[in-house]
Chain A
Amino acid sequence: MNFILAPKLCMLRTVLAVGQLPSEVGLNHYLLLSALLFAIGFFGVLLRRNTLVVYMCLELMLSASTLAAVAFSHFNGSMDGDIFVFFIITVAAAEVAVGLAIIVALFRLRRTVQLEELSALRH
């Protein structure tokens, strides 16, 4: 019993030690996370075919960029980035309202929100 559990415990301890090896979460961690979230949102914009989901992914990209701005502001000891994120959140709220109104108007006109079927400008 013990010699079965011992390697696992040892492995767990190693994983924990490796996990704590970067002793402090720095700016790079947040930038990497922000880039990852931005990339996920970007691929969503590229790959999805529902206009609403594409718009959600755009919001995801915007949120990822605000995370990077807050991280920069925090690690530079300044408050300007926080203020800018405040403005970005305000503008994003207005933008979402207008964009969703446009999507609703589009749906009223064409009865669909699938991007493949919205090809009126392709000539």
Chain B
Amino acid sequence: MAEFLFYLLAFLTVLAAAGVVVNRNSVNAGLSLLLCFVGIAALFVQLGAYFLAVLQVLVYAGAVAVLFLFIIMLIDVKGSDPRKPYKKVAAASGTLAAALLLTGVLSLVKHGQLAGAGPAMTVDVGGDLKDYGYLLFTKYLLPVQVTGFLLLIAMLGVAVLSRKHLEGSGTESQKAGNGKQEPGGIIQNPGAGSQNPGGGLRRREPSP
């Protein structure tokens, strides 16, 4: 039963992952990504890592995929890829990567089970939440602190990145407005159309 479940889940996960790559519509790709994350969470359950499965559903499927869909709704106006032929570099690197991956997988299959990796020794490993708490606050105390600090920095970074640069309010735009005009000048992005709805963000053209 476990084997059948593994194969079914693996098939569904790979199918969803292929859907992320193949779908030309970005929203469909995002929904496939959601399905793929849920499939990976189910595989975590198969591996006995129940806490990680819950975390995967909460963080990846609940936050990351929804954030992706939100951003797609916000900015992706075209929503699809244009059908154009690929460049030679991309095709060559894709072929090389496929060859390398095939070599790795074939060597894995040929050499069989890795040394020292028999069947699962402890069944209930990873299932106990108490063990997680104990390990996180004894052996991995420093990484926990560092990760907390990283989350703080990420929050601040996102706040700074998504701040709206109003015209004449930031120091850079003040400097650019007061200084003399450069040869290229400060021109608006050619693809932006007549008005600039992005809140006065301007791009400086490189001087020729």
Contact = CB atoms under 8 A, between A and B. Distances in A.
Interface stretch (B108-116, B166-174, B175-183): B108-116
Given A28-B109, A75-B120, A91 B147 contact: yes
Contact of A104 (B3, B29, B71, B119): B71
A42 to B, nearest CB: 6
A37 to B, nearest CB: 5
B interface, by DSSP: helix, strand, loop or mixed? helix
B60 A89 contact: yes
B47 A93 contact: no
A23 B122 CA distance: 19
Interface string A54-91: 01110110011011001111111111001101110111
A41 B29 CA distance: 12
Given A83-B132, A85-B52, A92-B64, A56 B33 contact: yes
A26 interface: yes
A72 B157 CA distance: 34
B130 to A, nearest CB: 11
A50 B104 CA distance: 29
Interface string B122-164: 1001100001100110001001000100110011011001100
B59 A89 contact: yes
Given A25-B6, A42-B97, A74-B126, A96 B64 contact: yes
A50 B76 contact: yes
Interface residues of A, number: 82
Given A73-B49, A96-B64, A111-B189, A57 B20 contact: yes
A103 B21 contact: no
Chain B: interface residue count, which band?
35 or more
A26 B19 CA distance: 27
B118 to A, nearest CB: 7
A92 to B, nearest CB: 7
B10 to A, nearest CB: 5
Contact of A52 (B6, B26, B132): B26
A31 B206 CA distance: 48
A47 B21 contact: yes
Nearest to B9: A33
B101 A35 contact: yes
Given A22-B3, A74-B126, A100-B67, A93 B132 contact: no
Interface of A: 19-20, 22-33, 35-37, 39-44, 46-50, 52-53, 55-57, 59-60, 63-64, 66-67, 70-79, 82-83, 85-87, 89-98, 100-105, 107-114, 116-117, 120, 123
Interface of B: 2-4, 6-7, 10, 13-14, 17-18, 20-21, 26, 29-30, 33, 36-37, 40, 43-44, 46-49, 51-52, 55-56, 59-60, 63-64, 67-68, 71-72, 74-76, 78, 80-82, 84, 86, 90, 93-94, 97-98, 101, 104-105, 108-109, 112-114, 116-122, 125-126, 131-132, 135-136, 140, 143, 147, 150-151, 154-155, 157-158, 161-162, 189, 191-193, 198-199, 201, 203, 206
